[in-house]
A and B are shown apart, each in its own frame.
Chain A
Amino acid sequence: MRNLLNQIYCKVKIFLFGLLCISGIACENEFDPLQENDRYVFSMYGAFDIHADTNWVRVMPIAETLIPRDPESNGTTVTMIHQRTGEETQLQPKLLRFSGNVYVWNYWTTKELEPQEEYMIRAEAPGGNQSFAIITIPSELDIPDVTYSGGNEEGEIRGTSEDTLVTMDFRYFIQVIRDRVVEPEVEVIISNLDDINLKTNGDYCAEIDNAEKLEEILLANRGDMIVNRRELVVISSSEDWPDIADLSEEEIVLPDAVSNVVNGTGFIAGIAKRKIVITSKRASAESAPKRECI
C-alpha cells in the first residue's frame, strides 16, 4: 500500500514538474558554486635565503574550500631549477598542521644558493598543470655593526648592502609587570626600516630609539618591562622584492596585484637575511663614542 502511494506521489510529482518544464521556467538547473578556474593552478609563497641552511616554500593547489582540511598528499612536485646551469633540485614535502585540523604543504631544500643567480621554483600537479616563479638571489649580506643600550632601547646599526634593504626588525621578548604581577612573555616586533639612512656606495646606518614605541604597543612604562631577549633581523633582496608602498590595504590583497607566480597566486622572493642576537656584550657598547648617522 505504501509502495503504491509512493508511486502515485512520484508520478504526480513528475507530472507537475513536466508541466513546469514545458512552461520553460522551472526545470532543475545544476548549481556549481565555483566558477571554472583556468587561471590559477597553485598558490606559492616563500623566500629563498642565501644564508639559510634550509629554505621553505608554501605550495598549495588552488582550493575549492576556504580552509584546507585534507591531510592527504596532493601529489604536487616542486622543483628548483638553477636557470644558468639547468640543474634541478626537487624539494621535499612536509605536511604542516594548524589548529582546527587545517593542513598545508610546505616544501624544503638544503641546496646551497648562489648569489646574483636566477632560480625557477616550479610546482607541477599530477596532471601536468604548472605554476612557477623566477627569482633572483641577492648578494651576501654582511653582518652589521650594532651598538645598543638596553636601558633606554637606543642604538645604532651600521653596515653595507649591495642590494635593497627590505627588513630591519627588532624583536623583543618581553614580560610586563602590571599590578605587581609579571605577565607571560610576549614577542614585539618593531620595524626600523624607515630609520635607515642609505649612502650611494651601499653603506647604511640607522639610529634606533624604540623605548616609546614599546611603551605604546604594550601600554606600559619602560621601567615595568623585563626584556628577556632582543634580536635584530636585517634582510636585503634583489630588485624582485614587491614594491607595495603605494598600494592600499585593499589593493595589497588582490591576487594579481602582488605576484610573481605565473599560472598561480603568491610571491616568492630571493633574500639575504641576517639575524643578530643583541647580547650583553653588544648591549654594553653604551659608552662607545657616538658617530653621526648620516
Chain B
Amino acid sequence: MTNSKAQGSLIRGIVTDYQTGKVLDMANITLQPMSGKGIIGTTTDSNGLYEFTDVAAGDYVFVVRYVGYEMHIDTLTIGLRARNISNHVQLRHSREELEEINVQGAVAEDMNPGQISISPQTFGRAPTPGGSADLASYIQTQPGVVAVGDRGGQLFVRGGTPSENMMLMDGLLIYQPFHIIGFFSVFPEDIVSNVDFYAGGFGPRYSGRTSSVMDVRLKNGNLYNQKWSASVSPFVSDFFFESPVREGKSSIIGSLRGSLIEETSDVYLSEKQPMKFNSQLLKYYSSSGEGVNCSALIMRTYDRGSLDFESDDYFKWSNIVTGGRCAGASAESKVSFVDFNFGLSYFTNEQGGSEGGLRNSQIFKSHLDMNLTLYVGEIRFDYGFFTDYRTMSYDIANLFVSLDEKAVAFSNAGGYLKMGVNIGEKILIEPGVSVTSYLKRLSPSVEPRLQMSWQPRGRVDEEIHAALGIYRQPFAGLTDFRDAGTSFTTFILLPESERRMEARHALLGWRQPVGDFFDFSVEGYFKEIKDTPVATWGPVARFATTLAYADGTVRGVDLRLNLNYRRFYMGLGYGYSITEYTTRQDHFGTWFGEPVQSYNPPHDRRHQLNAQTGFNVGNFSTNVSWSYGSGLPYTRPLGFDSFFSFDQRPPDVTEDYGEPRVLLDKPFLGRMPDFHRLDISVAQAFNAGSKDIKVQAGAINTYNRENLFYYDVFNQKGINQLPLTPYVSLKIESN
C-alpha cells in the first residue's frame, strides 16, 4: 500500500469507476521518474485508497491499471518543497476487455483469512428462478454455509446459528436479508457492487456477532446515463432503475421486487406455494470529485408465508433499514481515510396459526460509527469508534416460559484497533482488539483478534493465512429448533446477566493458483462456542419450553477448486464440518444418569458438496449447479404414548386422554436423508434496438429428487422441498 524512496512529498488518492463512483480495490499504481530509474508501485485497498509517502522531487509518470478499465496515464511534478498531494483517479471501462472479465472474474483479491469476495457477476453460477441472479442462491453453494431447505431464509455458517450472522448493507445492519423463498434475498445482482463474506476469523472492525459477517456494498447509480431493467418469472418480478441526479456528481438507484409464486403455483406447480415477499430500495449517491463521497439509502422488506403448507402456521417478517455513509481521503489530513456511518435498522417477525397463539418479536438498532485509516511509517492502523442503541421487545405466548422481561433497551459504545505490520515483503501480521462497554447493563467485553498471512512469492492470490480471535454477542436470537420448520426468532438479552454468547475462532488456510486458469483454496477451522441458548429437552409435545444453554465445538474444513478457462468455468466446493453441543440440564441425571449430554444440533451438516459449471458464448450462456448435503440431525422417536401424572391423585382413564408423549433415547440422534439437487439454466440475450432482452429457461431440482425439508416428529409428517420446477424468465434492460 505505501512505498517510500526518499524524503519528500505524500501523494494520496482514491481510485473510482468514472461512471458510478464505485471504488476499485487492488488497482495497480506506478510512479516512474522521467529521468532516472526507480519505479515505485502500490495497489489500492478495499476503499480504493492508495498512498505514496516521501516521494522525492521530480517529474513522474503516474499510471493506474485495472483489469477491464482503460489505463490512466498522467504526469506529476513534485516540487522541492515537501507537500501533500491529493490525486484522485476515475477510470473508464474498456469495452474490449469487458466480456472477458465477466467470465473470468478477473482481479486477484487481497483477502483476509476466512474471507470470500463475491462479485455479482458470479451470482448467476447458481441458477435462480428469476430474471436476475441472486446472492441468496449463490451463498448457499459455498462450503460452510448450511441452509436447512429451500424456504425459511435461515443460514447457518460454520456451525453458528442465523442470529449470529452479521449482515451489512453499505455499513447498515439488516437483520433478515433472505426471503422466505430460499432462492431470493434483498440482494439481486442488479444492485450489488461487491460482497465480502467472512465465514470466521474476521477482524475487530466487526463486533457484536460470533459467527460470520456478510458485508455487502451496493451499487451506486450511474452518474452520467439513465438505465433501467425489468424482469418477470413465475417466482418473482423486479424493476430496477438508475439515473444521474446531477450529472457526474450524484445519482440515484431504485429497486422494486415482488414474488409471484403464490399466484402462479396454483396453476403451474402440483402444490400451492403459500409464500410471498417484496422489497423496495432507494439509494442516493453523491461524489465531491475531491475524494469524498456520500450515500444514503432506505430499504423495506416484507415476507409472509407458511413452511408447512398443510398447517395453519404462518410466519411474517419485515425489515426497515435507513441511513447514510460518507467516506473520503484528503492529502491535507494526517489520517489517510475516514468512513462515517449512521443507520437505523428495525426488524419485526411474527408467527401465528391454529396452535399456540400469536408470537411476535421486534428489534431496533440505531448506530453511529467512524472508521479511520492511518499510516505511521510502514505500519497501517485501522481504528474506529462506535455507539449503538437497541430496543428489543417480544410477546412469545410463553414459548420460553422462563423469559419474564418483555422489553429491554440498552446502549453500548466502544472502539477497535487493528495494526497491519509487514515483516519483510511477504509476511503481514495484523493484531487487533475490539472493546465494547454496555454502560452497566452488561460487563464490558474485550475481544482480542489476530490475523496473519504469508505470501511466499509476494503474489496476493498465493497465500497461507491464519486467524485467531474471541467474539462475543450481547444478545441472542432464540429459535425453537425443536421444530425445524420455523423461521420465528425472538431477540433477547440472556436472562442470566453473567452469561454471554461467545465463540473463539481459529483457522488456517491456503490459497494457491495453479497455472493461469486453475486455483484452489483450503481452510481448516476450529471454534469453541459458549452459552448458546437452546430449548430444554423433554419428551412431551408441549408448546412451551424453558431455556437451557449449550457450549460446544465446531471443527471442519472448506475446500474450493476453480477453473476459469476463457468462456468456460468449473467450480467445486466441499465442506466438512462437525458441530457438537454439550448441555447440562437438571433432569438429565434422572433421564440419562449423567447430568451433561453431548449431541449434534439440527444444523450439523457433516458433508457438503457443490459443483458448478457453465460457459458463455456470445449471447448464449448456461449454468449448471449440483448441490449435495448429508442428512441433518433430527429427533428419532421409539414411539409415542399418552402420559398421566400421579401428582396428588390417580388418573381417570375413563374421562381423560392424557398428555401426548414422544418416547426417545435422546433428541437429535437420527439423521434425515441426504439432500441433493441439480439446477440448470440456459440464457439467450438479444439486442432489440435500445433494449437488451434476455430470455432464460431453467429447472430447479431437475431430476425431481424428493428432498425432505423437515420432519415433524410429533405428527410423523415429512415436508418436502420443491419438486422439479421448470421456469422461464424474461428480462428487458436499457442499453
B638-A33 in contact (CB<8A) = no
A253-B540 in contact (CB<8A) = yes
**Residue in B586, B646, B669 whose CB lies within 8 Å of A267:** B646
Looking at the complex, which of A36-44, A150-158, A214-222, A276-284 is the stretch in contact with chain B?
A: A36-44
Q: Is B664 an interface residue (CB 8 A)?
A: yes
Q: Mark B690-734, 1 if CB is under 8 A from A, else 0.
A: 000000000000010000100101111010000000000000000
B539-A269 in contact (CB<8A) = no
Q: Which residues of the other chain, B, contact A67 by a CB distance below 8 angstroms? A: 660
Q: Which residues of the other chain, A, contact B714 by a CB distance below 8 angstroms? A: 66
A254-B703 in contact (CB<8A) = no
Q: Is A148 an interface residue (CB 8 A)?
A: no
Q: Decide: A33 near B636, CB < 8 A? Known: A43-B642, A104-B657.
A: yes
Q: Tally chain B residues at the interface, Cβ within 8 Å.
A: 57
Q: Decide: A46 near B591, CB < 8 A? Known: A26-B674, A62-B640, A64-B640.
A: no
Q: Mark A36-80, 1 if CB is under 8 A from B, else 0.
A: 110110010111000000001110101111110000000000000
Between A and B, 24 residue pairs with Cβ closer than 8 Å are A16-B703, A25-B609, A26-B628, A26-B674, A31-B708, A33-B637, A33-B670, A35-B669, A35-B670, A40-B638, A46-B653, A58-B651, A62-B641, A63-B641, A64-B640, A65-B716, A66-B541, A66-B640, A104-B642, A166-B650, A167-B648, A250-B537, A250-B587, A251-B590
B651-A40 in contact (CB<8A) = no
Q: Looking across the interface, which residue of chain B has its beta carbon closest to that of A57?
A: B653
**Residue in B586, B653, B713 whose CB lies within 8 Å of A248:** B586
How many Å from the CB of A271 to the closest CB on chain B? 6
A62-B586 in contact (CB<8A) = no
A255-B661 in contact (CB<8A) = yes
Q: Is B644 an interface residue (CB 8 A)?
A: yes
Q: Which residues of the other chain, A, contact B718 by a CB distance below 8 angstroms? A: 31, 33
Q: Which residues of the other chain, B, contact A269 by a CB distance below 8 angstroms? A: 646, 650
A250-B538 in contact (CB<8A) = yes
CA distance A72 to B713 in the complex (A): 24
Question: What 10 pairs across the A-B complex have the smallest Cβ distances?
Answer: A43-B641, A47-B650, A62-B639, A250-B587, A58-B653, A37-B638, A63-B640, A251-B587, A251-B590, A31-B673
Q: Is A235 an interface residue (CB 8 A)?
A: yes
How many Å from the CB of A112 to the closest CB on chain B? 19
Q: Mark A85-118, 1 if CB is under 8 A from B, else 0.
A: 0000000000010100010101000000000000
A96-B661 in contact (CB<8A) = no
Q: Is B321 an interface residue (CB 8 A)?
A: no
Q: Which residues of the other chain, A, contact B715 by a CB distance below 8 angstroms? A: 65-66
Q: Which residues of the other chain, B, contact A40 by a CB distance below 8 angstroms? A: 638-639, 641, 663
How many Å from the CB of B574 to the closest CB on chain A? 10
Those of A184-215 within 8 Å (CB) of chain B: 191, 193
Q: Interface centre among A25, A36, A45, A250, by most B CB within 10 Å?
A: A250
Q: Looking across the interface, which residue of chain A has its beta carbon closest to that of B714?
A: A66
Q: Which residues of the other chain, B, contact A37 by a CB distance below 8 angstroms? A: 638-639, 663
B638-A106 in contact (CB<8A) = no
CA distance A35 to B668 in the complex (A): 12
Q: Is A8 an interface residue (CB 8 A)?
A: no
Looking at the complex, which of A122-130, A138-146, A239-247, A286-294 is the stretch in contact with chain B?
A: A239-247
How many Å from the CB of A292 to the closest CB on chain B? 26
Q: Which residues of the other chain, A, contact B657 by a CB distance below 8 angstroms? A: 98, 102, 104
Q: Which residues of the other chain, A, contact B538 by a CB distance below 8 angstroms? A: 250, 253
Q: Mark B639-681, 1 if CB is under 8 A from A, else 0.
A: 1111111111111011001111111110001101110101000
B591-A252 in contact (CB<8A) = no
CA distance A49 to B643 in the complex (A): 20
Q: Interface centre among B536, B650, B674, B716, by most A CB within 10 Å?
A: B650
CA distance A166 to B215 in the complex (A): 64
Q: Which residues of the other chain, B, contact A258 by a CB distance below 8 angstroms? A: 646
How many Å from the CB of B628 to the closest CB on chain A? 6
Interface size class of A (residues with CB under 8 A): 35 or more
CA distance A206 to B591 in the complex (A): 36
Q: Mark A1-30, 1 if CB is under 8 A from B, else 0.
A: 000000000000100110010000110110
CA distance A248 to B664 in the complex (A): 19
Q: Is A285 an interface residue (CB 8 A)?
A: no
Q: Decide: A66 near B669, CB < 8 A? Known: A26-B674, A248-B586.
A: no
**Residue in A25, A96, A267 whose CB lies within 8 Å of B654:** A96
Q: Looking across the interface, which residue of chain B has its beta carbon closest to that of A107?
A: B653
CA distance A166 to B192 in the complex (A): 70
Q: Is the interface of A mostly helix, strand, loop or mixed?
A: mixed
**Residue in B586, B641, B676 whose CB lies within 8 Å of A20:** B676
Q: Looking across the interface, which residue of chain B has its beta carbon closest to that of A273?
A: B650
A166-B648 in contact (CB<8A) = yes
Q: Looking across the interface, which residue of chain A has its beta carbon closest to that of B669?
A: A35
Q: Which residues of the other chain, A, contact B640 by a CB distance below 8 angstroms? A: 62-66
Q: Is A182 an interface residue (CB 8 A)?
A: no
Those of B549-598 within 8 Å (CB) of chain A: 585-587, 590-591
B643-A35 in contact (CB<8A) = no
Q: Which residues of the other chain, A, contact B659 by a CB distance below 8 angstroms? A: 253
How many Å from the CB of A267 to the closest CB on chain B? 6
How many Å from the CB of B248 to the closest CB on chain A? 53
A266-B638 in contact (CB<8A) = no
A244-B641 in contact (CB<8A) = no
CA distance A102 to B541 in the complex (A): 16
Q: Decide: A66 near B591, CB < 8 A? Known: A104-B642, A253-B540, A253-B643.
A: no
Q: Is B390 an interface residue (CB 8 A)?
A: no
CA distance A39 to B664 in the complex (A): 10
Q: Is A265 an interface residue (CB 8 A)?
A: yes
Q: Looking across the interface, which residue of chain B has its beta carbon closest to that of A193?
A: B648
**Residue in A35, A248, A251 whose CB lies within 8 Å of B638:** A35
B646-A244 in contact (CB<8A) = yes
Q: Mark A222-237, 1 if CB is under 8 A from B, else 0.
A: 0000000000010100
Q: Which residues of the other chain, A, contact B499 by a CB distance below 8 angstroms? A: none
Q: Is B607 an interface residue (CB 8 A)?
A: yes
Given A25-B628, A43-B641, A57-B653, 10 other A-B residues pairs in contact with their CB atoms under 8 A: A34-B637, A45-B642, A45-B651, A46-B653, A62-B639, A65-B715, A66-B714, A106-B654, A250-B586, A253-B643
B663-A265 in contact (CB<8A) = yes
Q: Looking across the interface, which residue of chain A has its beta carbon closest to that of B711?
A: A33
Q: Decide: A254 near B636, CB < 8 A? Known: A29-B673, A98-B657, A191-B648.
A: no
How many Å from the CB of A79 to the closest CB on chain B? 17
Q: Interface centre among A26, A36, A271, by most B CB within 10 Å?
A: A26
Those of B625-642 within 8 Å (CB) of chain A: 628, 631, 636-642
CA distance A235 to B647 in the complex (A): 13
Q: Looking across the interface, which residue of chain A has its beta carbon closest to that of B660?
A: A66
CA distance A98 to B654 in the complex (A): 11
B628-A271 in contact (CB<8A) = no
B711-A191 in contact (CB<8A) = no
A45-B591 in contact (CB<8A) = no
B658-A58 in contact (CB<8A) = yes
